Structure 1
Amino acid sequence: MKTEFGVLGPLRVAVEGKDVDLDQPMLRRLLAVLLCDANSPVSAEALAEALWEASPPASARKTLQLYVHRLRKKLGDPARIVHGPAGYRLVVQPGECDADEMRQLVADAHATVDPGRRAGVLRKALALWHGVPLAEFADVPAVLAVSEALTDRWLAVLAERVDVDLELGRHDDLVAELTEVVARHPLHERFRAQLMLALYRCGRQADALATYHQTREVLRDELGVDPSDALHTRYQEVLRADPALDLPVRPRRPRPAQLPAPPRDFSGRTEELSELDDAVAGAALVTISAIAGAAGVGKTALALQWAHLRRADFPDGQLYADLRGAATTEPVDAAHALGEFLRALGVRAEHVPQDLDSAAALYRSLVADRRMLVLLDNAHNADQVRPLLPGTSTTVTLVTSRSRLGGLVAINGARRLLLTPLHPYESLELLMALLGGRRIAAEPDAAAALAEACGHLPLALRIAAANLLDQPRRRLTDFVSDVTRNRLSALAVDDDDQAAVRSVFGLSYERLEPAARRVFRRLGLVPDLDATPEIAAALDAIDAGRGGRLLEVLYDAHLLDSRTPGRYVFHDLIGLYANERARTEEDPQSREAALDRLYAWYVGKLAAADRLLLPYRPAIVEADPAAPFDKALEALAWLDGERSNLVALVHHAVSTGRHVEAWRIPFLLGGYFEHRGTWSLGASLHRYAVDAVMKLDATHAEVPVRVQFSISLVHLGRVDEAVREQQRCLAIAKETGNTQREAGIHNNLGWMYNELGDTVRAVASYEAALELFTAADDRGYLAITLQNLGDAKSLLGDFAGGVADLERSLAIAREDDLVGQQGDSLVSLGQVHARADRHHDAVRYFRSALAPVEEADNKMTLALTHRELGQSLRVLGDAAAAADEFAVAARLYRDTDDLHLAVAAYLDVAGVRAETGDLDAAGRAFDTARQLHLRAPDPVNSRRLDETAERLA
């Protein structure tokens, strides 16, 4: 039997949708008292006191039994009110009382990331209120207490909804509502602060200031107090037109649109498109596989055509990755593809988890509530695909592959669509679309023979048509004869089902001008290289403008595809063919010269980028002065675009014995890995670099390369391996007498020992570095090492020694005008004093650090300083000031997109606000932390969120 209880206004009961008429006042009072302690026993004495206003008659017990009996009948369920030794208990199931429904809606709102949806859920919760809760029972203390608590809850939910509406820019609509709310609740300062903000954003600064003055008068008249610090702060912000009051520009969740352009002149495949519709309707994972590895059958074209036709079904975006499963080099690993997806979804590169499981979990979280399409092209096997699969059915995943991917079907529930060559009539339709109906109708038999010669493969048909379009008077019959007897078919090997395709490639290739043929061949020298005008220029010793025009010629001939403007790619079969042509038609010296130019161009650009990204690192590779970048961001953008090419070049260099390039390219990517946080890729490439310098016996390069490799290892948590690499470097530095390098290695070892928790060894390493830097009079590194040493000593409890080293570091930084180091040293001094429980001194140093840190524009260190300052202020009992510092730190971390630290700082705010009793502010900070945590989950913050939620409950 469905029963509904209403307490958010006049008392109401409904059974099976019909209101119960509680016509007797005593029955209403009895139900109200029982509802206020629902599912908990209420003693007969307490009930009698509530019913008869503390003056129960002698017959109260029997009369109470009678009232309970009548109420049971009204409710239609004898078991609804249970009697036991402790008294009477009203049984209320979850969801039966509107107060419970309200609480659930508020909880749902808190779990909603999108502000618009959150405001809607809060409005739905507020709509449950129908006046003062249980107002008719104000003379019953137990009911009155609940009524007041529910009213307070209503005010808090209303204020929260107003905050969200202000965030959404709805200040114009809020002024009238808030004016009315303030009139009804004149002592509620939060509403007055919201009204001031709404008025200010409406251009009514004077009215906002007048609201504050009116509030001050009301509070002094009614309570004899002044406005709170928070309201006074709002007044000051309005008075000086603080930009912090302006409507924030809310970052929208990125909507990636990564699909390459749809195939040109797509034709046929009607049945397959329909079958794909049906497959997607029945499963969120579909594989498009080819029979017997028939490359060129059109798997990618079909997937892209369907994806573009159905884009409207995926309003939250589309992700695309070419997994290179059919390439001659290593397939793209899942971790790399996940990193690209996470960045497309708004995660900054340095915050992408390095281990595969964590990255996959974050990816699933980000797409969990979104309607998206993920296209995984050219998959190698099921293991490569599984980490890239979303966890919910709202996101559809298409996978193309030459293999059948049976594991995805058997284990992951994928639907399979096997793709065969075109039907003969579809081949003719495609030729008609490409060449025109008249030409096909004039020679139908020759057209059918051409389709047969092309194996009914879309790729071959398109290339054949491209040749014929340039020869409008040529008969199809003659063209078919050339295809069938072309000498280049000899390139085919036994059992090669692509022989016809290669014959078509040959015809298209032979028709190119010599310069285009040469660029085509040389682009095939490095497998899986995306072509750009600059790359073509380097390979052929021409200018970039000429290179771009030749790439367009190859694109028009269907020998190159273009998925993004300015970048061109081979179909994997055509890439193999280009490589074969290069080896057949060019002598080794010409091929090597082209490769030398390509590698030299890349290394010059990388060295220029390296100077900007790691300016303090000694240069061991000369930068090309003709290829500079103006800013580090420009260099990073170029590196982002070229990353896949750089990986392909390293693999090529390793496989062809180009050991110099095999170590130079990874080494020069060190700054990129530090800025983007892609340490997994960094470690794998630096491993190649180490092997290369060992084969070269290049002692001058071995130490820098091993240092770079060890840094990658530390960031991956493989610190023991990193220490072994550094110890090898230390031995080499000592053998060669390079004291500068030896000092740097000792400093690195100190960092690594600290990471291992061996602070004693860390101190010894820092002291060794200090001695060598002192002898070399390298004051910059001397200041850094003194800072590291002082910090390590304090961790061991040697606070006096730590302070002395840090004061020396600070003195050097001031003498040499090293502004950034001054800030770093002051922050470390504050931390040491805080560890020594000298928080007054700590506060002094943290505050002194703010100016140089701000001047150096180091937002991460600035955020750390504010947070550390907040911690010390909190210990000293200045909770309000601590909360302000935590809030500044949280905003800075959020601005720099360091979401893990932002969550931690917002939880600091929530904790200290709760300690001061400002539960509203604590709740807002907690909600912000929870929303950010959804974007960047980690176990430490998860535990803190749970602990904070318990304290705020």
Structure 2
Amino acid sequence: MEFQVLGNVAASHRGSPVELGRRQERCLLGLLLLEPGRVVLTERLIELLWRDADATERRATLHTYVARLRRRLAPYGVRIITRSAGYLLDVDPATVDLHRFTAEVERTSTIVDPAARAQALAAALELWRGPLLAGVADEELRQRLGSGLEERRLAAFERRVEAELAAGEHLRVVGLLAELVREFPTREHGIELFMLALTRAGRRTEALEVYRSARRVLVEEFGVEPGQDLQRLHRRILADDPTLTLPAPAGAATTSDAPRHLPRDVPGFIGRDADLAALDALVDAVATSSPVAAVCTIGGIGGIGKTALAVHWAHRAAARYPGGQVFVNLRGYGPDAPTRPIDALGQLLRSLNVPSERIPLDVDEASALYRSTLADRRVLVLLDNAATSDQVRPLLPASAHCLTVITSRNRLDGLVAHEGAQSLRLGLLSDDEAHHLVASMIGADRAATAGREQILRLAALCGNLPLALRIAAARVVVDERLTVGNLLLELADARERLSGLAVEGDTAVRGAFAVSYRALPAASARVFRLLGLVPNTALPLAAVAALAGQPETHIEPAIEDLVDRHLLDDGGTGRYQMHDLLRLYGAERAELEDSEQERRTAVSRLADAYVQHGVAAQAAFHRVRASVPMRIEHPLAQEPRYDSLDAASVWFQVEAGNLVALVRISDGLGLARETWQLADSQYSFLLRTHALTTLRETHELGVVAARLDGRPDGERLMANGLGVAYALTRDFDEAIRWMERAAQINVAHSSPRDEVVSHLNFGNAYGQKGDRDESEKHMRLATAGARQLDDPFLLCVCLSNLGWLYTEQGRAQEALTHLEEALGIAVDQDIRQQIPPLQVHLAHQNANLGRYEATVEHARAAVALRHLGDHLSTARGLYWLGVGLDGLGATDEAVGCWQESHRLMADIGTRDIEFPAAALARSGHQPQIDPD
């Protein structure tokens, strides 16, 4: 299938047009096509489609548009995939005219013959059939989205003309350039090309008049003189420079003695399209807007492919630097001392054919000679593996015609601040790039045998790190008996993974990391090792400080040092994360350099910090089950506080991954106290978000840990939590078994509240199992006990559950009475977390009675509170909203609600998914589930 966004948004299949629907739906498709394979945020789509519209009001409409597009594209195998934050269009960028244009223009940089290059560029430019998103986007939206695209089109046009001129086709391009200059009278490069074409066509006087007209516009309207390149061409025309009259033969633009010192390009270089484009854009931006030499730094961790990218890009861009390309390895990281600036200058000057006897021994004098040598030359300087900004500064050309590209494991912020360097932070390979790399190395037959899934699993174990992927693939290539599946089994053991990612000594991943680690100061090295012990999810500075047992102000310099060296990623969010393989290396170093007690104590400090935050955050929730005293051996200097439910929910959402991982790590280290207390500190959040698999896992570990810790009260909490988790997953026999076990655990001081909660849990389990008599008995006992305790929250929960039971039994009036009383308590007492499920129950009951307006009212109220994080209530609310709307005749809107309900329930993993599925089937629609 082919797509167009350059001009009218359109699609075709095997040459036949495909119907895409209404204007807004086509505009939505166009927005997704601008970023194929990437998630476009829902909020951004709404803002672009409706600008100042309220996102809440437009969300359902957006879902409807997506559903319609899915139906139209599905027959052609095109998927729109829902992600938690937005939508992803799963199409090959090569099927979209815009991205095909970009790729074809980039490809032309490797075409040596100017006539062939001009022809290829002309073919790429033909893809522009009109303005971006014509017919669906207004001018303001096109300007927002396409200002940079127009510049890329013009740049490609100018490159085409340059190639035509180099091929001697100056007569052909005069008319094209005249039109360009009329449309863009201040675009100096276009003016320069027009003057050159006119001169070669024997129209010297007209060329000089073009210059005078351009200068007049620039001076009168902008108060600036033409740029140096344009002025230089003007002087050459006035002087009748004979080299202007005819195009130089191929290769004559460079001298025979120009250095060509780039290292060999990486065989089978894969991917990095976005990084190559970013490098092009960074360099072009500096070159067109600055009179000083362009400098670009490429940073990233060891093994990320900095040198490979720089060398590959340099080979592609070599033709732009006819004065030569020079290369120096500055040895910033490695067993040898970094290359001294004076030694690097010696290498560079000799590369530029300066005799050794003329090279000064003083750095400043040598640097001055180097700058003079490059003053009138267009040279690409590639400085690999730099250590510091000071090492690099003497090696920077001054000529605006030159470009310096620097790779480093450090950030080199000094060059950005003082030399205006542009920086590119190199990231990991995408899954598609990783798959392509491995498949290309091991060959099509072995890749087909392994299959995409196995190769992606291998990529995940390698952390999508290029060096690790190349080593893993090389092992498969070298050993014909080794399959991808066998290698997966070998690398599955995290403790042995780094050993498995080695082929010959210094190409080992461990060796690449060791080079960076050995350069660390002691304080930074300690933090690096400790971070290898804990979850490889983003940690805030306070958590790292707790792990290290030091104040934040003491630990911050070490953190900044690790970030500067690309050993830690801050993502600009103030949270810190290591690459998976770096974390394994950090854990190795910790085992070798730190005692077992030091490692256990560090993890215990971090666990205690999270327990204290979890307890404080849960205090903002109304808890059904009673709290038990926590034993904290490493108290925080300041007790955490969460003043609102929203603040507590946000903390849990951000830290959810760390909490779960810490339970596993604590259990693995035999930290029993920490394990069960961590499990308890996240119980309410896991329950509210219906994360039942996680709830079961943490409490299964917790129930054993509490027994080992000698805490029967904790053991009972864990057992009850397991009972609730099993009940919600409809494994009722297992749920009742755990609840009975909890009731049998001997706790010295059992409170009346504990008894109420026990009856409530039993009532829920029996009710969901279908034993309604036993359920009602326990529910009534729980409700009566809650009234005696004068506990509004507990009473609200009991009334809600009893109302749900009566709904299931068809006892409509009794159900409404209990549910409305519960909702009144929740509203009066500001028990917000109970309002969504109560509104869902009331929507359900009113739908049973055929009161569809009331159904819609209660269901909308439940969905409007989705920000509270009760995903199951949101999904159920959407289902009942659809029922109410359908009952009122708004079936199309109902279908959108059922589709979203179905998607949410699929994400949650609840069996309630059968209800929206059945509703969609009745309305003649199929559920649209997005595969991971």
- Give the TM-score, by structure 2 length: 0.45
Rg (Cα) greater in structure? 1
- Give the TM-score, by structure 1 length: 0.44
